[in-house]
Structures are given as C-alpha cells and as structure tokens.
Amino acid sequence: MSLRSKFAAAELTDTGRVREHNEDRIGSNLDTALLVLADGMGGYNAGEVASGIAVRTVMQLVAAGCAREERQAVDPATGLMRQTVILRDAISRANKVIHQTARTQPQCQGMGTTIVACLFYDNRISIAHVGDSRLYRFRQNRLEQLTTDHSLLQELVDRGFYSRQEAARSANRNFVTRALGVEPSVQVELQEAAVEPDDIYLLCSDGLPDMVEHEDIHLTISTFGANLQTAGQQLVQLSNDHGGKDNVSVVLARVVEPFPAPSGVLGRLRRMFS
C-alpha cells in the first residue's frame, strides 16, 4: 500500500556561503513514507561519500524490509514496531558499510556522517538518529525538537554545565559524540510517536539550527507551512543570510490525512498485492 497520497513533502539542500562543496545528502520515498537526511564529515570530499552511502543504504534496505515484513507488528525482542526495527537495522548496516569503506579506501580514512530518518505507518512515526542532525515536529502552532543531539555540548547541558541559552551561543556546538562509520557498530537512538493530521515534520542538518534561532524556524513554518517548498526555501535563505557557515539541508513533510493500516481480510489482500 503506497502512502504517497497521505503526505506533502519538500527537500532542499544548499552548500551555504562558506564551504566549497556540499557534504549533506537527503532522500525520500513517499510510497513507504520514508525521509532520510545525512550530514557527512572527514577527509577531502569523503564526508559526502559517507553521507551518500548512508542515504542510499537506508533507502534501499528500508524499502526491501517494508515490502517483506508486517510493519505495524510488534517485535517481541524489543517491544518496538517492526518498522522501527527495520529502520534501526538499515542504519546499523549503513554504519558497517561506511566503516569498512573508510578502512579500505585511503582517501576515505576518517570519514563519518550523522543521520536522522523517519518512517510513517499506521498513524505513527518511527524516528532514528545518530549525531546532531535533527527532527522537529510542528503541531498546533508549536515547534518541538523531538531528537536530542549526540554532541559534547548537549552532554554538558544535560549535566548542568551550560544553560540552553548559553549553549546556543557556544562556538563548540559541532563536536559530535556519535556518528556513523567511526566504529564497527553504533547505537541508534529510536523513538515512536502518534501522528496527527496537519503535523509538519522537519529534518535538518546542523547548518540550520546553528544559523537560525528556534523562534525563527517556528515563525517560518507557521507562516509558509501551507507551501512546504516555499517554507524550505525560506529556511535555507535564512541560514545563508545569517552567515551560511555550513551546508544546510531540510526535508519537510506534512500529514495530509490519516493513514491507518488496513486490517482484517481486506487488509491482508491489499498487502499481498501492494
């Protein structure tokens, strides 16, 4: 069953005003309702290799997993929806591919990437992330950051050494404590949540929140949310207007209508022939 008609979406990525090339990669598959964003790092052009591997691997493996498995079923080992496990396993596999490539290709030594991805099904969202790429939810005129950065600065905030206001002004915001490709295995942070019609979800690389205040992101989505392409363009423009010190990428999705999973005999037949 394709979910394409249940969502409106937009994807934008930009090199920014300082960097010479773009190490961000983005992707989506609205048939399976998957959104992915990765922000690469390390080595000459190697960051874009890592982020490209991450996005391609996750999109391929998630599509295959969704076609093969019952997505809303509960995994007995974890208590999570099977689709959440599919997403986690795809990111873990991407980590292994990136790590192996970095070990065997001298020009890729030391490369890695952050990643944030989400997968929708049965009026729910599965969220997976590693690093400081983020996912926000805009609901009933409230913008909420759903992911927590895997960064040194966030750890200092959590331990009370910095307030959030001080952290926002810190020059050391980009020291990540977790990334794909750095180690043979990686801990993927997972969440599941209910979805409501008219929710807007924003995936972004750190080039957006590093340049644009939370309040300005909120104002932009509330003003332009009826047209996601325009909202995305405005967010990228704001980042560049404020210095554009990093690549900036955004993926936006609005829930157009509910998408409950088919049930009963009719549901099973639909799944067999979808």
Q: Classify residue 80: in a domain, yes or no.
A: yes
Q: Classify residue 194: in a domain, yes or no.
A: yes
How, if at all, do strands 142-145 and 124-130 pair?
A: unpaired
Check residue 268 and give its pLDDT. 47
- Measure Cα distances from 94 to 31, 220, 260 in Å: 21, 33, 30
Please determine, for residue 70, whether its predicted confidence score (pLDDT) is greater than 80.
yes
Q: Classify residue 4: in a domain, yes or no.
A: no
Please determine, for residue 95, whether its predicted confidence score (pLDDT) is greater than 80.
yes
Q: What does pTM read for this prediction?
A: 0.91
Cα–Cα distance measured from residue 249 to residue 257, given in angstroms and rounded to the nearest whole number? 26
226: how many CB neighbours lie within 10 A of its CB? Answer: 10
Per the structure, the complete domain to which residue 267 belongs is given by 9-273
Q: Classify residue 68: in a domain, yes or no.
A: yes
Give the tens place of pLDDT for each residue, 251-273. Answer: 999 999 999 998 743 344 444 44
> Lowest-pLDDT range, 53-57, 105-109, 140-144, 251-255?
105-109
What average pLDDT does range 75-83 have in this prediction?
95
Please determine, for residue 239, whether its predicted confidence score (pLDDT) is greater than 70.
yes
Return the residue matching tokens 């979805």: 195
Angle between helices 82-104 and 46-68 (to 10 degrees): 150
Q: Please name which of 30, 36, 54, 193 lies closest in space to residue 116, comparing C-alpha atoms.
A: 36
Q: Classify residue 1: in a domain, yes or no.
A: no
What average pLDDT does range 21-31 have in this prediction?
97
Highest average pLDDT, of 28-32, 148-152, 174-178, comes from: 28-32
Q: Report the domain count for the chain.
A: 1
Q: Classify residue 3: in a domain, yes or no.
A: no
Check residue 92 and give its pLDDT. 98
Longest dimension (CA), the chain: 57
Q: Classify residue 28: in a domain, yes or no.
A: yes
| CATH of residue 236 | 3.60.40.10
Cα–Cα distance measured from residue 50 to residue 134, given in angstroms and rounded to the nearest whole number? 18
Band (pLDDT 50/70/90 cuts) for residue 44 is: low
Gyration radius of the chain over CA positions? 18
Please determine, for residue 233, whether its predicted confidence score (pLDDT) is greater than 90.
yes
Mean pLDDT for the chain?
91
Q: Classify residue 95: in a domain, yes or no.
A: yes
Band (pLDDT 50/70/90 cuts) for residue 1 is: confident
How, if at all, do strands 134-139 and 124-130 pair?
A: unpaired
Cα–Cα distance measured from residue 165 to residue 260, given in angstroms and rounded to the nearest whole number? 40
Instruction: Extract the tokens encoding 25.
Output: 């990669």
